[in-house]
Structure 1
Amino acid sequence: MSNSASIDGYLHVEGFDKFERDAFDKRKIRAAMRKVGLLVTQKAQMNLALGHGQDGYPVNRTGATVESISFKVSRSGFLVRISPTKTSAMEAFYPAYLHYGVKKGKKLGKLAPGKGKGKSNRRAQGARAAALAERAAGEWRIKPRDNYMADALQDSSSQVELILKAGFAGALT
């Protein structure tokens, strides 16, 4: 399971780097990308729906996160992006809260008048760093969950590669 914002959710197909983009029929490339997008989207939705909070995935209560997972093929057609998007059913974009987590305690704000040092009401030296370290060491209000999107791509990477290689080979003009 991956729980990082690294390049885990990226797949590059080798073998077609030597060709210019103009050498490919973009309709066929876009069709292959749509096929791949649908495959990985369905896998991610299945991971989330069947996970039920196991394996570090979020619990599926209303289905809003599952329904928000969609794909979009880029304008050029050589890239597909699969991600949860904010829908009208969501008050806030909470897949981000689920992935990164939320710490307990409030953010460090301005000092109340008269609580700091001197005329400019500053904190004591090192007080801000100590308060930030205390908050970072504290408990999670919402624990970070595993990245079901990267796991879906990783699980279906062999199928994705086969579909894209066939799509690129058939699109050469």
Structure 2
Amino acid sequence: MANSASIESYLHFEGYDSLPRDIFDKKKIRAGMRKAGRLVMQRAQMNLALARGAEGYPVNRTGATLESVSFRVSKSGFLVRVAPKKTSAMKEYYPAYLFYGVKRGARLSRLKAGEKHTGKRRREGIRLREARRNNDWLIAPRDNYMADALQDSNSEVQAILSEAFAAALS
């Protein structure tokens, strides 16, 4: 399961590192980055829609997760970020809950003013602590469909970017 924020969701393009950024036509670089970002975004949406909860991906019930996947080119134009974003349809940013998971058995809150210790509260605390000790998941971590989309379209993205960088030099 690709369940860590690691280097696997990052693509470094070799070959143009030694050249200063000033010599490139930024319009062409940004156009290439937009094209690459759109490709990875569409691949991530397709992975999510076609998996239907299989392969460790989250289930797509309302389409809010699909609609939340978008891309953004940086101000300089030399970076594109593809990620799910919080939309107005979401109450919480739940792609984070899907990626990291949620442990069963939350911590007990403090007693409110005037509240007494009761046997029921004690049993509840024992149950919650036991669930935490057993590493029970309320929501199990899901696979990273964004990293998989980048990995699947790696060669196509490199071809798009090499073409854009070559065109931006001339």
TM-score (norm 2): 0.86
**Pick from 135, 141, 156: which aligns with 1:144?**
141
**Pick from 146, 156, 160: which aligns with 1:159?**
156
Runs (4 or more) in structure 1 with deviation over 2 Å come to 107-115, 131-134
Equivalent residue number for residue 63 of structure 2: 63
Equivalent residue number for residue 12 of structure 1: 12
Distance change in 2, residues 1:136/1:25 (3 Å)? farther
1:12, 1:132 → 2: CA distance?
44
Alignment of 1:46-57 (within 5 A): 46-57=46-57
Counterpart residue identity of residue 153, structure 2: S
Between stretches 157-166 and 131-140, larger displacement belongs to 131-140
For residues 61-109 of structure 1, give each alpha carbon's deviation from its aligned partner in whole angstroms, at most 9, with x where no partner exists.
0000001000000000000000000000000000000010000111255
**Structure 1 residue 5, shift from structure 2 partner:** 1.2
Equivalent residue number for residue 119 of structure 1: none
Between stretches 154-163 and 137-146, larger displacement belongs to 137-146
Q: Residue 28 in 1 paired to residue 28 in 2? A: yes
SS of residue in 2 equivalent to 1:141: strand
Equivalent residue number for residue 75 of structure 1: 75
Q: Residue 2 in 1 paired to residue 5 in 2? A: no
SS of residue in 2 equivalent to 1:18: coil
TM-score (norm 1): 0.85
1:136, 1:99 → 2: CA distance?
21
Structure 2: unaligned runs, 5 residues or longer: 118-127
Equivalent residue number for residue 125 of structure 2: none
Contact 1:69 1:83 in 2 (8 A): yes
The count of corresponding residues between Structure 1 and Structure 2 is 158
Q: Residue 135 in 1 paired to residue 132 in 2? A: yes
Equivalent residue number for residue 166 of structure 2: 169
Structure 1: unaligned runs, 5 residues or longer: 116-130
Contact 1:103 1:136 in 2 (8 A): no
State the identity as a percent. Answer: 63
Counterpart residue identity of residue 141, structure 1: L
Contact 1:24 1:171 in 2 (8 A): yes
Alignment of 1:63-142 (within 5 A): 63-107=63-107, 109-110=109-110, 135=132, 137-142=134-139
Distance change in 2, residues 1:172/1:108 (3 Å)? farther
Equivalent residue number for residue 121 of structure 1: none
